[in-house]
Amino acid sequence: MGTLTITRFNGVEKFRLSESKAYCTYKHEEDGSKRIMMWFEAETDEEPMMTVPDTEGLHMNPNAEITIYLDELDLNHFGVRRYEIEAGYDHEQDNWDARLYYFEHQDVDRNVLMLEYKGQGVFGFQWKGSTTDICYYDGSKPDAILEVEGEFLLEEYEQW
C-alpha cells in the first residue's frame, strides 16, 4: 500500500500505510464558479517500521492529508502530473491544504506532489514536504521532511 516517512534531526521514522484514500467534491467559489477539490488521506499502522528514541515509547502513529484544486478532472486523460504547494496552511480560507497530525496538527510547507493515474480509481502517489520538528515546536531543531509514497484509491471514481 505504501509508507509515510519522517526524516528528523535525530533519525528516520517510518510507518506502513494502513489506509490511503482520495476524495473529490465540488467547491463553490465566492464568484459563483466551482472547482474540484481533491484530497488524499494517509493513515498509518500503529507499529512503526523505524523509530527514534524521543518518540519510541509514546505509541503514536501519524496521519497526513494534502489537498489540490482542479478546474476539471478527466481520469481518462489524467496521466502523470506534478503539483507544488508552498504553504500548507491557507490563511485566507482558514484551512490546511497540507498537514501532518502526529502529536498536534501542523502544516506541511514546500510540498511537491506527483500523481500518476493507473486506472480503476488508483493513483500512484509521491508527496514530499517539510514541517516543524514533531517534538520541538520552538524552532530549535531543523525542519523535518515528510514523505508519503504509495497507491491511493479514489472513492467513487466512476463519477469522474
Domain range summary for the chain, segments of one domain joined by +: 2-159
pLDDT tens by residue, 51-109: 998 888 888 899 999 999 999 999 999 999 999 999 998 888 888 999 999 988 899 99
Q: In this predicted structure, what is the pLDDT of residue 91?
A: 87
Contacts 24+ apart (CB under 8 A), 129-134: 129/66, 129/85, 129/88, 129/98, 131/88, 131/100, 131/106, 131/107, 132/106, 133/8, 133/9, 134/6, 134/8, 134/55, 134/62, 134/100, 134/102, 134/103, 134/106
Least confident of 21-25, 57-61, 120-124, 140-144: 57-61
Residue 120 half-sphere exposure toward CB, CA atoms < 13 A:
1
Angle at 117 between CA 61 and CA 110, to 5 degrees: 50
- Dist CA 42 CA 68 (whole Å): 15
> Residue 29 pLDDT > 90, yes or no?
no
> Residue 38 pLDDT > 90, yes or no?
yes
State the pLDDT confidence band at 48, using cuts at 50, 70 and 90: very high
Q: What percent of the chain has pLDDT over 90?
A: 76
**What residues pair up with 145 in beta bridges, in sequence order?**
7, 130
Q: What is the pTM of this model?
A: 0.92
Q: In this predicted structure, what is the pLDDT of residue 133?
A: 86
Angle at 46 between CA 112 and CA 88, to 5 degrees: 25
> Residue 28 pLDDT > 90, yes or no?
no
- Dist CA 70 CA 77 (whole Å): 14
